[in-house]
Amino acid sequence: MNLVTLLPFIVLIGAMFLMTRSAKKKQQAAAQMRDHMVPGTGVRTIGGMYATVKEIGDDTVTLEVAPGVHAIFAKNAIGAVLEDAEYNRIVHGTGDDLTIDTPVVPDDASSLTLDKDADKDADKDADKPEGEAPKLDLGKKDEPEAGEPKADASDDAEPKDGKADGEAGTK
């Protein structure tokens, strides 16, 4: 046989060897991580649930998911063993003190703008009675009410082709 004919098979076998080797390493690392579990350790299951280890059996682990609520899981269902600081930060919301020189961000962006026109508008709105809301300007011109003439006379003119809407022969 020719070497060129065997080359694809050799490459395929080499790729399979490398993939199985990395998978075995990941399994060994996961098993070693699970061996470091002790009662009182915080863990995350493969389903994303955080709990505290209460008892460790041969193939199972008893987890406390809430005070007084225990659940039995397979050891293989443990996705990560967490350090105490990380577990407390995630589950209890406690962590580092964030009050050191961090800027305070307001809840709304209106206090971040330095718009002087907004201050004038606020003064105008203060003169209005309490029950009346300020009128919003959305960039549209006010439409005349029923019975009032339109401001622009070009809108009332006949169409350029001389036909009004609804007449026969219009397109």
**What span, in angstroms and rounded, lies between the C-alpha atoms of 29 and 77?**
14
Checking if the pLDDT of 50 tops 70, the result is: yes
Paired tokens of 76: 């293989």
Checking if the pLDDT of 108 tops 90, the result is: no
Residue 62 phi/psi, 5° resolution?
Answer: -95, 120
Please state the pTM of the whole predicted model. Answer: 0.44
Q: What is the pLDDT of residue 21?
A: 86
Q: Which residue has the higher pLDDT, 160 or 69?
A: 69
Half-sphere exposure of 15 toward its Cβ, with a 13 Å CA cutoff? Answer: 6
- The stretch 31-47 carries a mean pLDDT of 86
Least confident of 14-23, 35-44, 145-154: 145-154
**What span, in angstroms and rounded, lies between the C-alpha atoms of 104 and 161?**
64
Burial class of 42 by CB neighbour count within 10 A (0 to 12, 13 to 18, 19+)? buried
SS3 97: coil
Q: Which residue has the higher pLDDT, 89 or 105?
A: 89
Q: How confident is the model at residue 140 (pLDDT cuts 50, 70, 90)?
A: low
